[in-house]
Chain A
Amino acid sequence: MDFGSINPVLLLASVMVSATPILLAAMGEMVVERSGVLNLGVEGMMITGAVVGFAVAVNSGSAWPGFLAAAAASALLSMTFGILTQVFLSNQVATGLGLTLAGLGLSSLIGKPYEGMKSPTLPKLDLGPLSDLPTVGRMLFSHDLMVYLSLLLVAAVWAMLKWTRAGLILRAAGENHDAAHALGYKVVRIRLAAIAFGGACAGLGGAYLSLVRVPQWTEGMTAGAGWIALAIVVFASWRPWRVLVGAYLFGGVTVLQLNLQAAGAKVPVALLSASPYLVTILVLVIISARGAHAAPGSLGRPFHASQ
């Protein structure tokens, strides 16, 4: 048991990198759920983003086209979910699961020729004097651009939901879609836009996994990250800053257990590798035990504007 081999600075730095894909996906899903739609297909959208991002990055030689293509592809995929649930009024849980399964199959299909390849990745930023700070500089200020963009996304979504008219309309569609419809807001269009946004964010998260975090393409590489993102939205009570906390908590546990495994801890490997999921269950239970759930009022209910 060699605790000395775990470098706390590196550990904390890797927490930010580990949390970013889940943060991106969870933010997108939070917006979707605030608009009243339960999209269980986050895993499928993330892995599609991962494979498309990887493929485009390899073919174009740079990572940024990969990210853009990933966002676009996942948004497109999420539109199938959107049309099925909003226009064809299908069951949201079943359609979301179908999206996950279809996304997993699609990504395996697309990714076959790309297995084992190396892709262009994002460079670590050098923020001048900030990066040169003794330990904090390494931990917080020497990451790639996507990490900071994800934090910016949290702030932007929070500001939009809290202070803009568009955010208010989105929340209205999520709380009571009949009232929003009566006021004249196009609930279906709002939800479709939210679903596309959620898809784009999940795609970005997946692309971050395959282009920066790992960075490689392997079949099934998201390993449940999409489901974790869903869980984080629930235990953040659908609030942006709490999603940030949740994503970093999960990223932290994942990184910690990997480091403990590498350092040869006396804890059984099965317990360590299952620990992120067990912690998620624990936090979910604690949150629901505390009572008021703050879920959007119309979450999961199909909307049909009867004439």
Chain B
Amino acid sequence: MIALEKRPQPSRLWTVLAPLVAVALTMMVGGAMFAALGSDPVEAIRTIFWDPLFNPQFSGYSRPQLLVKAGPLILIAIGLSLGFRAGIWNIGAEGQYIIGAICGAGAGLALYPSGSALVFPLMILAGGLGGWAWAMIPAFFKTRFGTNEILVSLMLVYVAEAILASVSSGLLRNPEGRGFPGSRNLAQWDAAANRELIAGTGLHWGVVAALVAVIFAYVLLTRHIHGYNIRLSGEAPRAARFSGVNPARVVVFCLGTAGALAGLAGLFEVAGPAGQISIDFNSGYGFTAIIVAFLGRLHPVGILLAGLLMALTYIGGELAQLMLGVPGASIQLFQGMLLFFLLGVDVFTNYRLRIGRREVA
């Protein structure tokens, strides 16, 4: 008889071990999936995980891309993790990302062709505020009416995509773009461009913001009363209410922070790697960040590492697509499997396997 028995407190060993076991399992099952698709499994796994970093033929291009892809993921995931810890499920990060990008780019383009040093900071502010405002919609409905924030924030993603389509062909369309949809290229306009700080590393302002966010979240969660309240609201909601935590404030704070960070990520992306507001500049970072948040066990340092790992699977996936002809969608499946395995292995953190009958005391 194999049964699960609740542990008196979460196992510290498994808190660290679970993601590692999950990654190992994903590599094995992922390898089997690649074998089923007709590629050599060992070569496929090596191409995804090892080559982008260490193979001299590719790493010159791939290593900088690691930070470029990881930056927005980490930034959004930090914001999401605060909410997830408190039981506030913000699934609409993609929408907040889009709206932040639109607001930031719009603010910048309104000042075109100024060369002032204030343009970029203004864009950052506008991007953060845009994302914050978009996240305030589910926050308002949740605190005022008790509406489920999962559904409202998710519906708003589709609304944001509709707004993006409208704005790229209308309001923000490049007047010198010969009728093609899409805004001016912000990465080519010096005052607004989000450039690399150290050439060849991919370390642009978005990555810097992500690192600052990691530190800020760590200090908030471990040293500040707000962080304590957030953790308490998630783990013991009734105790939180008895201790005087205002649940509405927690909701507004968590959703607002997540929205602002997602909006910032959108702005940094559109002023840097993506370059312009176009109908499809968003690459699903808002949803992948959810995986990153869970993979990092909702802990800032874990999220940093998980973000780098996910970025590696993105880049490795592109490389595998190029070199081995592996279909692009298999990487999305790979990432979904990673989340599944993590959630499955996570049971050992809180439960212990008991084999045989327990003796009657």
Contact = CB atoms under 8 A, between A and B. Distances in A.
Interface of A: 40, 80, 84, 88-91, 93-95, 97-99, 101-109, 112, 219, 223-224, 227, 230-231, 234, 268-271, 273-274, 277-278, 280-281, 284-285, 288-289, 293, 304, 306-307
Contact of B343 (A90, A227, A274): A90
A248 B53 CA distance: 52
Contacts of B332: 101, 104-105, 108
B159 interface: yes
B200 interface: no
A281 B150 CA distance: 11
A274 B4 contact: no
A281 B145 CA distance: 12
Interface of B: 3-6, 89, 91, 141, 144-148, 150-152, 154-156, 158-159, 162-163, 165-166, 287, 290-291, 294, 327-337, 339-340, 343-344, 346-347, 350-351, 358
A306 B354 CA distance: 12
B151 A88 contact: no
B3 A288 contact: no
Nearest to B288: A101
A99 B343 CA distance: 11
B152 A281 contact: yes
A269 B166 contact: yes
Given A112-B327, A231-B155, A270-B165, A284 B343 contact: no
A42 B351 CA distance: 28
Interface of B is mostly: helix
B89 A93 contact: yes
Contacts of A88: 343-344, 346-347
A106 B333 CA distance: 6
Q: Which of A84, A91, A101 has the most CB of B within 10 A?
A: A101
A241 B112 CA distance: 55
A112 B329 contact: yes
A77 B166 CA distance: 36
B340 A95 contact: yes
A109 B329 contact: yes
Contacts of A281: 141, 151-152, 155-156
Contacts of B333: 102, 105-106, 109
Contacts of B350: 89
